[in-house]
Each structure stands twice: as structure tokens, then as C-alpha cells.
Amino acid sequence: EMFTSMAHLQTALYAERDIALTLRQYIDMEEKRLEKLKSIANDFASHSNEALKNPDGTLGNPVSAFLYVKRFTLDWDKDIEPILQNNTFTTMLQQIKFLKQDLPTYEDLSGAAAALLRLQDTYQLDTAKIASGELGKTKCAELSANDCYEIGRLSYNDEDFYHTTLWMQEAIERIQADINSTLSKSTVLDYLAFALYRQGNIQHALSLTNELLKIDPYHERARNNRGYYQRMIKEESKSRKMGDDGEGIAQEIKNKRHIDDYRNSNEFLTYESLCRGERTQKVKDEEKLSCRYKHNNHPLLLLRPAKEEDVHLDPWIVIYHDAMLDGEIQTIKQIATPKLNRATVQNAKTGALETANYRISKSAWLKDDDDEVVHRVNKRIEAITGLTLKTAEELQIANYGLGGHYEPHFDFARKEEKDAFKSLGTGNRIATFLFYMSDVEAGGATVFPYIGVKLFPKKGAAAFWYNLYKSGEGIYNTRHAACPVLVGVKWVSNKWIHERGQEFLRPCGKKFEE
Ligand SMILES: O=C(O)CCC(=O)C(=O)O
Ligand SMILES: [Fe+2]
């Protein structure tokens, strides 16, 4: 699939260009061929026209007769048949089929729709606002009534009646606003009425079904549903002992988002509001934060010290400004792009690596000797952190896709997790060094829901934090997430630094939490 990374979605643009070229070539050739066929037709028409005026005279002359017969045998095979047969349609079709391999698929369509719904939820966006394309700084393409209807239908097929309701309502708005819309209102009403019923709005379901039946009186399902809704309403009012005939009384529409327990948890709701840039809690010791130049007496940093800025003190999270140069970023993106693969997560129970909807991005791993730039960047991380990268994982490059995100997680392995890093023999992930390799127009922050910290990507900057105390115990407050990218493209790269080899660089602490 390609929607999980912007870099791969972009390759579709080239395929689209090449399809246009192939079609143009085919049309040119076909136009030339049709010109020839036209002149053959004209020739036949004028010849028969003349000949039919005097058939005996024409065929009675043996020379004319000879030429006439030759015309449909020798001449036909030589001049006409090739033009009739020379149809390059099948070849063109094959070429397009080949190019189409680089175009999005139905899997991408549902991924793209899921991304829109995720962004709508996380950033609390109005359906109308999304549909009008007013997300970024510049207004882009708009969704038609039919587009909204298709999004509603994808939600409906997932039994997500909350989003079905929102998007079918928007489809109706857009049918009314667009006289050219080919979408029939009754089709949308059919879905909307049922979704509203499933969301607990029987009255509304009934009144929309009545509206549908006004447009299409013989709609069978609607007639059945009408009876069903009427009975439901009667029974309900009987049990409430109210004489209500159940005909369309205006009520507020109920449309609650049905989400699982986790997405309803404090952690998740805090994560979402931090993504929106809201301040969720008092950030501890915020007034004590400061920034400094730092060179650690390291030759790499003497002339160009690290610009270290505290973001949080306990746990300590810092930002290094201008930690990666534009040229370095460009090189790293370039060598990583062909290596990008859908990012996986480790199943805590089985230990297996698998893809998951809570992590939507593609990533690549770059070795120290893949390029001089990778080596230089690795050396810089060592100089800044004072840690060794001998036991670190390779540099991971991530490119987020449509609405790409990574829900709250720990970078370190907890004791109960199945031998997460055991096979590496390098211990747990002691620290994370995370470079931002792009600005992101909207969304895409890295947020820490337990401590109320939010970091918005800034090209060239890097975040750094320890995941473990000196005792080796995990720091649970480092739980963090990558918010969905709302507008723009997000590239990051990170180095997960491991415990082994740091024994003298970051000696063991005496206390549990130190
Ligand atoms: O992309 C980000 O902002 C964070 C990524 C992250 O947490 C991870 O890859 O482990
Ligand atoms: Fe992480």
C-alpha cells in the first residue's frame, strides 16, 4: 500500500504523468489512422457513387472490371487491411495496466478515508470544513456530494454510524448546493436514515424515511423501515405512556462517537488535546526551564556548540536546535526513500513484528557506512549526548503517510514484554535521539501525555530524552506519541541508544529513580 508514506504516494504522480503520455501517443496514432480510414471511406463512396450511375457501363468495360476486382483483393490486402487491423488499443491497454501498478488501490482508498476520519476526530474538525478543503494555509480541492457520500459509505461498511451520519448529512448539504450533482438524494437518505436510527434517533430516521418515500414512493426497503420505525416509536411511547403518534417531531440529533475503552481513556484524550496544541495540565517546573550552548569539550562541538533547550526537567527532555543541516537532511531522505517499508510494531504477547493501524508510516534503516552523512550524524549524536553508539540500533528514517501517526507508546521494553531486545544482547533502549527532518504545516507533533509536553516539528531540530533511569528502570513518564499529520509532510529520523557500553559514560545510580 502507498498511503502509509508520503514519499511513496508521490510515485503515483509519476505514473499518472506517464499514463497521460501513453494515452496521448495512442490518441495521436489513432487519429492518424482514422484520417486514413476516412479517406478510404470517401474513396469508396465516390467510386460507387459514380459506378452506380451506370453499372453496366462500368463493369462492362473489361479494364474497369479488372481494376474493380483488383481493388478488393490485391489493393485491399496491401493498403486497406493493414490500416483496419493496425489498432494499437491492446498494446496501449497493456502499457496502462503496467503503469497502474504504481497507482493507489482500494486499500489506499480505505486508508485515505480512515485518515480523514482520524484527522476529523483528533483535530475536532467540522465535516463541512474538511469537505471544503480548508485545512492548510491554502484552500485546495473540494469534495463533491458524491465524494462525501463515498466516505459515508466506507464508514457505513465499517458499521461506524457516527461518521456515516456526519458524511451523509454533508452529502445532502452538497446535493442541495450543487444543481449539477448526479447523486440522488434518496440514495443518501436511505443510508442517513438508517445510520440515524442506529445512533438512537428513531424520530429522525422516520422523518427522513418519509422524505425518501415522497421522492421514491415505491422504495421497498424504505416502506419496510417506515413500518418498523413507526412500531418502535409506538412501543416506546406506550412504555412511556404518552400519546405520541411518532410523526417527525424536531429533536436534537444524537450522534455519539463510539470508541473503544482505550480511545476513551484519559491518556488518549490527553494525547488528542495535546496534538491540537492545547495545554492539558500544569507542566512541572516549567519556570525552571533554560537553554545553553554545550560543547562537552568535544572537538566536533568546539566551533559549533549544540544549542540545548530544556523542554521538561523530570524526566529530562531537550531540544537541540540546528542539529542536522539541510544538505544532510536532503541526502538522508534520498538514500532512505527507496528503502522505505511499512513500519511495524512488536506484539507484546508473541514478540512478533506486525503492522498496526496505530502506527502509520514507512521507515528505513541506514547503516553507519551507508553514507558519509550518516556517519557524520552518528558522530554528532555521540558528541552531544556523551553516549556511545556502538550498541545502538541503526539510524531509523520515518516518513509519515496520510494522517500518519504513532499512538502513545514507550520506546523502552517493559519487563513483562516478551524478550523484546534480548536477541540483540545490547540491553534496553536507554535513550532516544529524534531528528525532525521537515517542518510540518499542521499537526504531526510529538506529545508526552503523562507530563503535558508537546513538541512541534522544526526542520533540523532534534529531541533527546532518557527512557531509563540510571538504575535501568523504565521512566514511564516518557510515554509519547506522534500526532497525525494534518497538512504537509513529516520526516523524522531517530537513534535508539542501548544500555551496553554506557557503563562508564552514564554510571549506575544508587537510587531506583535517579
Ligand atoms: O515521529 C515522532 O514524532 C515520534 C516517533 C516515535 O515516537 C517513534 O518512532 O518511536
Ligand atoms: Fe517513540
Tell me, letter by letter, the H, E, C secondary structure of 350-416. CCCEECECCECEEEEEECCCCCHHHHHHHHHHHHHHCCCCCCCCCEEEEEECCCCCEEEECCCCCCC
- Three cell numbers, residue 156: 457505513
Euclidean distance between the first and final Cα of the chain, in Å? Answer: 44
pLDDT of 246: 47
Whole-angstrom CA distances from 507 to 183, 294, 314, 382, 451 are 68, 21, 18, 16, 26
CA of 382 to the centre of ligand 1 (A): 20
Q: Answer whether 366's CB lies under 8 Å from 395's CB.
A: yes
Question: Whole-angstrom Cα distance, residue 108 to residue 133?
Answer: 19
Residue 139: helix, strand or coil by DSSP? coil
CA of 513 to the centre of ligand 2 (A): 21
Q: What is the CATH number of domain 289-498?
A: 2.60.120.620
CA of 511 to the centre of ligand 2 (A): 26
Q: Please list every protein residue whose CB sits less than 6 Å from any atom of ligand 1.
A: 398, 406, 411, 434, 446, 480, 482, 492, 494
Q: Answer whether 188's CB lies under 8 Å from 175's CB.
A: yes
Q: Which long-range contacts (CB under 8 A, 24 or more apart) does 290-297 make?
A: 294/384, 296/383, 296/384, 296/386
- Three cell numbers, residue 149: 457520500
Burial label, 217 (beta-carbon count in 10 A; 0-12, 13-18, 19+): exposed
Burial label, 441 (beta-carbon count in 10 A; 0-12, 13-18, 19+): middle
User: Using CA positions, which residue lies closest to atom 1 of ligand 1?
Assistant: 482
Residue with cell 416506546: 236
Identify the CA nearest to 148 among candidates 113, 103, 194, 198: 113
User: Using CA positions, which residue lies closest to atom 5 of ligand 1?
Assistant: 482
Q: What is the CATH number of domain 106-239?
A: 1.25.40.10
Nearby residues of 141 by Cβ (< 8 Å), 6 or more positions away: 133
Specify the amino acid at residue 423: S
- Three cell numbers, residue 505: 559514560
Nearby residues of 478 by Cβ (< 8 Å), 6 or more positions away: 315, 317, 410, 411, 412, 432, 448, 465, 466, 467
Residue with cell 540545548: 308
Identify the CA nearest to 399 among candidates 462, 332, 340: 340
Whole-angstrom CA distances from 110 to 119, 170, 279, 402, 485 are 14, 19, 33, 11, 17
- Three cell numbers, residue 6: 508520503
- Three cell numbers, residue 18: 506517464
Q: Answer whether 460's CB lies under 8 Å from 493's CB.
A: no
Angle at CA 240, nearest 5°, toward 235 and 241? Answer: 90
Which ligand sits nearest to residue 343's alpha carbon?
1
Note down pLDDT in tens along the chain; length 514 residues. Answer: 889 999 888 889 999 999 999 999 999 999 999 999 999 999 999 999 998 998 888 889 999 899 999 999 999 999 999 999 888 899 999 999 999 999 999 999 999 999 999 999 999 999 999 999 998 787 888 999 999 999 999 999 999 999 999 999 999 999 999 889 999 999 999 999 999 999 999 999 999 999 999 999 999 999 999 999 999 999 988 877 654 444 445 578 999 998 889 999 999 999 999 999 999 999 999 999 999 999 999 999 999 999 999 999 999 999 999 999 999 999 999 999 999 999 998 887 888 889 988 899 999 999 999 999 999 999 999 999 999 999 999 999 999 999 999 999 999 999 888 666 777 889 999 999 999 999 999 999 999 999 999 999 999 999 999 999 999 999 999 999 999 999 999 999 999 999 999 988 988 777 777 7
Main-chain phi, psi angles of 291, to 5 degrees: -145, 160
CA of 205 to the centre of ligand 1 (A): 44
User: Using CA positions, which residue lies closest to atom 2 of ligand 1?
Assistant: 482
Residue 55: helix, strand or coil by DSSP? helix
Q: Where are the domains of the chain?
A: 6-100, 106-239, 289-498
Of all atoms in ligand 1, which is nearest to the CA of residue 480?
Answer: 7
Q: Answer whether 163's CB lies under 8 Å from 115's CB.
A: no
Buried b (16+ CB within 10 A) or exposed e, 379-405: ebbbbbbebbbebbbbbbbbbbbbbbb
Residue with cell 529513580: 513
Whole-angstrom CA distances from 124 to 117, 128, 174, 266, 272 are 10, 12, 21, 17, 9
Pocket probe for ligand 1: among 396, 480, 496, 497, the residue whose CB has the most ligand atoms within 8 Å is 480
Q: What is the DSSP letter of 262?
A: G
Specify the amino acid at residue 8: H
ipTM over 0.95: yes
CA of 287 to the centre of ligand 2 (A): 26
Pocket probe for ligand 1: among 446, 465, 483, the residue whose CB has the most ligand atoms within 8 Å is 446
In this structure, the strands spanning 395-400 and 361-366 are: antiparallel
Identify the CA nearest to 76 among candidates 109, 43, 103: 43
Report which secondary-structure segment, H or E, holds 513.
none
Q: Answer whether 354's CB lies under 8 Å from 347's CB.
A: yes
Identify the CA nearest to 151 among candidates 209, 192, 202: 192
